[in-house]
Structure 1
Amino acid sequence: MKVVILAGGLGTRISEESHLKPKPMIEIGEKPILWHIMKYYSQFGFHDFVICLGYKQYVVKEFFADYFLHTSDVTFDLANNQMEVHNNYAEPWKVTLVDTGLLTMTGGRVKRIQPFIGDQPFMLTYGDGVCNVDLKKLLDFHKSHGKIATITTVNLSQLKGVLEIGDNNTITSFREKEEGDGSLINGGFMVLQPEIFHYLKDDSTVFEQEPMKRLAEEGQLKSFYHDGFWQCMDTQREMKKLEELWQSGKAPWKIWDK
C-alpha cells in the first residue's frame, strides 16, 4: 500500500524556518521531520511513498538524490572522480516526488497524484506531524468497516478540523476548529479508498473542507481514535518540543533501532 504525504505547503506559521526550506524538511535531530514520518511508516511495512511537493520542492528532491551524503560517511577520490560510501544503510523505500503546484490546495494535491495511485487504497498524512498510532490496527479498522475514508482522531487544543462522531465511529460532521474547542480533531494518518478521487475537483479543492463534509454527510467517514502521542509542528515552540523529546531519547515515535 502506498503512503501519500502532503509536503507542498508554504508553512507560513513557522516562517522563521520555512523561508529557507519547506516545512517537512525542517530538522528534528538533524533529520527532516519528513524522514521521521517515513521511518515510522516503514516500521509497519509501508515502504512505497508518494510525496506531494510544491513550495521549494527542489530541497526535497535534492535530499533524496543525495541521500547517502546526508546519512553516511563518504570518501571522495578526487583524482579518479570516485566516491565511496561507508557503512551505508539503504532504506527499503521507493520514493516518488511529484510537483503538485506551488499554490495548490490539499485536495488538489491529492487529486494530482491519482495517476501514481490508480485503483488501490492508500494512506495519506501531513508532512509536519508525528505520532505513535498503531498503523496496523488503523488499517485493520479501515478494512473492517468498508467505508471510503478513515482518519485518525486526537483530542488536542489545536486549530484543526473538528469532528462530531456518532455510532460505530462514524463521523457525522466536519468543521474548522475554534479556539478553546474541546472536540476531537483530524490528526492525519488516514486510510482512503480510491473513490476519494471522485470528491476532489481541481487545484482549488481543500481536502479538509467540502470533501470531508460530503463524506461525513454520506456516512463514508470513519474515526480511528488515538489517545497516545501526537504532535504537529506548526510553530517554533512545537519544533523545540519535538527536538527536546528527540534529544531526551524518549521520542514516542522513534520505534526503530537505526
Structure 2
Amino acid sequence: MKPKVVILCGGKGTRLREETEYKPKPLVTVGRMPILWHIMKHYAHYGFNDFVLCLGYKGDHIKEFFLNYKLRRWDLQLNLKHGTKFFTQDEEEEVEDWNIIFAETGLETNTGGRIKKIEKYIDGDYFFLTYGDGLSDVNIKELEQFFLQQSKIGVMTGVKPQSKYGEIAVDTNGTIIEFKEKPLLNNYINGGFCVFDRKIFNYMDENCILEEEVLKQLVNEQQLVLYKYNGFWKCMDTYKDYKELNQMWQNGNSPWKVY
C-alpha cells in the first residue's frame, strides 16, 4: 500500500491578499493551473496519487475546482438525452488518475489540528505531508527512501531560501569588492515535503500547531531528521512570489515541472 499525500490547504493567505480575497491560496494559479495542481502533479509523477486535502478557508472552491475539472480543461459535447462527452486538446493527454479526499478541517484550525483531524484517513504506516503553496523539484522517491532508512518518526525537507536583498562585501577601506544579488542564505528552513510515521498522531490534539508544539517535541526526543535539499524550492508567500513563479512559467524556466 502506497502512502497517502496530505496537503495543508486551509490557510487564509493574508500576505497574498491580491489573489486570495476571493479564492483559497492553493488555487492561486501558476500558468493556467492552481499551484495545488502543480504540487499534486509532482507527487503523482513519482507514483503517489492518493491525496488528502486539509481544507479550511474557502475550501468549497477547491472541491468545486476538482468536481468541474474536465469542464474547465477540455472541449465539451452535450447531448441532452445521453449526456456529455469531453475532448482533450491533445490526443495523448489523459485525465489524472488521482484519488482525493476533501477533508473539512475547520476555518481557524491550526496546522497540527488539521493533520490530527485526518488521522482516520491514514491507513498506512507513514504518510507524506506538505503545504499547499510550495514548489520544488525534490525527488519524492529518494525522500521516501531516506525516511525509511532513518527509523525516526519524521523527516523534514530542509531548503536554503533566497535572500530578499542583495549582499555586499567590502574591504577594510569600505570599498565594495563583491556584490551578490539575492544570494541563497546559509541556514536551512522548513521547506515542507515531509514524511511522518503515523506515530506522530500521538503527539497531536485538534488545537495544536505542527511547527511549534509537535515538531519541537520531536526535536527534543531526537525523532526528527533533516533531509538537506539544495535543489529548486520556492514558496508562494507574497504577490511578488506569485509574479516571479508565473514569470518563470512563461519563460519556460520551471524547475518544479518534473512531470
Structure 1 pair 158–104 and aligned structure 2 pair: CA distance change class (3 A): farther
- Size of the aligned set, in residue pairs, is 234
State the identity as a percent: 44
**Shift of the alpha carbon at 1:71?**
1.8
1:83 Cα deviation after fit: 1.8
Partner of residue 212 from structure 1, selected from 211, 215, 224: 215
> Residue 197 of structure 1 aligns with which residue?
201
Q: TM-score when scaled to structure 2? A: 0.86
Letter in 2 for 1:122: F
Whole-Å separation in 2 of the counterparts to 1:44 and 1:155: 23
Listed as ranges, the gaps of 5+ residues in structure 2 are 165-183
| Contact 2:161/2:234 (<8 A) preserved | no
Q: 2:145 aligns with which of 140, 144, 162?
A: 140
The 2-side partners of 1:227 and 1:95 are apart by: 30
TM-score (norm 1): 0.87
Partner of 2:101: 96
Distance in 2 between residues matched to 1:135 and 1:255, nearest whole Å: 11
Task: Give the aligned CA root-mean-square deviation in angstroms.
Answer: 1.7
2: distance between equivalents of 1:51 and 1:228?
A: 26
Does residue 186 (structure 1) correspond to residue 190 (structure 2)? The answer is: yes
Give 1:64's aligned residue. 66
Return the offset for 1:120: 2.2
Residue 162 of structure 1 is matched in structure 2 by none
1:60-93 CA distance string (max 9 Å, x none): 000111110122111233x547321112622011
Native 8 Å contact 1:157 1:182 kept in 2: no
1:16 matched residue in structure 2: 18
- Is the 2:160–2:185 contact (alpha carbons within 8 Å) kept by the matching residues of 1? no
Name the amino acid aligned to 1:53. Answer: L
Structure 1, gaps ≥5 residues long: 160-179
Q: Deviations over 1:156-178 (max 9, x none)?
A: 1579xxxxxxxxxxxxxxxxxxx
Equivalent residue number for residue 249 of structure 1: 252
Find the partner of 1:240 among 235, 238, 243.
Answer: 243
- Distance in structure 1 (CA, Å) of the matches to 2:98 and 2:123: 19
1: distance between equivalents of 2:56 and 2:230? 32
* Structure label with greater radius of gyration: 2
